[in-house]
């Protein structure tokens, strides 16, 4: 019932249903709406990345090419975001870097493969709030340790320590998740 309600309420679902009913203008509007939502979602995960728009386009192409994998009547948004997330992970893999940039002395010891294929937001939720906030500020928002420390009222060393401990914990969680997959 909830699923049906969501399906009726989401413009993406209505547009896709109309498109599959033969309305080609609805398909154009569906893709435009999808682009907007994917851009918003990916920008939250990537930050101000210069390749954001490339990734949005890659996701749109994948959604179009794999549109036969969306079952009629199923909500579009989870399917769409699953594809976009897959493309994001693939993007990070191609660039040979982490979902989190390891650019400080404190966390350089963690291997680059540690967070491949992992949803960083889901991982951060498993950390103590102080460590998660430290990593968000320094690795996602791009603040320096000093700027992050000033924002939260702690010293640079304390901020470095929070980031370092958080990164080590993230690596452990990612390894555990991988073993459980």
Partner 1 sequence: MTDTELLLDRLSAEGPEPSASPFWRFAAPLLGVFALCTLGIAATLDGAFDPVERYGVMPLTAKWGFAFALVFLSASALWVLGRPARPSASVTIGMAIPFIFVAAFLALEFLQTGPVVRGATWRTCLLAMAVMSPIGFAGAIFAARWLAPTNLRRTGLSAGLFGGGVAMIAYSPYCPELGMGYMTVFYCLPILAMAALGWLLGPRLLRW
**Min separation Cβ 56 and partner 1, Å:** 6
Rounded to an integer, what distance in angstroms lies between the CA atom of residue 62 and that of residue 76?
14
Residue with smaller CB distance to partner 1, 32 or 108:
32
CA angle in degrees (0–180, nearest 5) for 12-141-36: 15
Rounded to an integer, what distance in angstroms lies between the CA atom of residue 181 and that of residue 179?
6
**Min separation Cβ 61 and partner 1, Å:** 7
Rounded to an integer, what distance in angstroms lies between the CA atom of residue 160 and that of residue 14?
48
Rounded to an integer, what distance in angstroms lies between the CA atom of residue 137 and that of residue 153?
13
Note the residues at the interface with partner 1 (CB under 8 A).
16, 19-20, 24, 26-28, 30-32, 35, 53, 56-57, 60-62, 64, 66-71, 74, 78-79, 81-83, 85-86, 90, 181
Residue with smaller CB distance to partner 1, 55 or 134:
55
**Min separation Cβ 38 and partner 1, Å:** 10
Residue with smaller CB distance to partner 1, 56 or 127:
56
Residue with smaller CB distance to partner 1, 23 or 152:
23
Q: Which 8-state DSSP code applies to residue 74?
A: S
**Min separation Cβ 144 and partner 1, Å:** 32
Rounded to an integer, what distance in angstroms lies between the CA atom of residue 97 and that of residue 89?
10
């Amino acid at each position: 019932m909830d699923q049906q309600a969501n399906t009726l309420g989401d413009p993406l679902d209505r547009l896709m249903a109309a498109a599959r009913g033969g309305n080609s203008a609805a398909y154009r509007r569906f893709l435009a709406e999808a682009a907007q939502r994917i851009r918003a979602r990916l920008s939250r995960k990537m930050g101000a990345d210069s390749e954001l728009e490339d990734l949005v386009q890659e996701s749109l192409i994948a959604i179009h090419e794999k549109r036969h994998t969306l079952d009629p009547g199923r909500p579009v948004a989870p399917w769409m975001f699953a594809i976009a997330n897959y493309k994001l992970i693939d993007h990070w893999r191609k660039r040979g870097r982490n979902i989190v940039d390891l650019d400080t002395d404190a966390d350089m010891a963690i291997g680059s493969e540690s967070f491949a294929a992992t949803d960083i937001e889901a991982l951060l939720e498993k950390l103590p709030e102080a460590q998660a906030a430290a990593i968000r500020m320094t690795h996602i928002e791009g603040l320096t340790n000093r700027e992050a420390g000033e924002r939260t009222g702690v010293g640079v060393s304390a901020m470095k320590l929070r980031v370092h401990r958080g990164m080590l914990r993230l690596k452990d969680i990612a390894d555990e998740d991988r073993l459980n997959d």
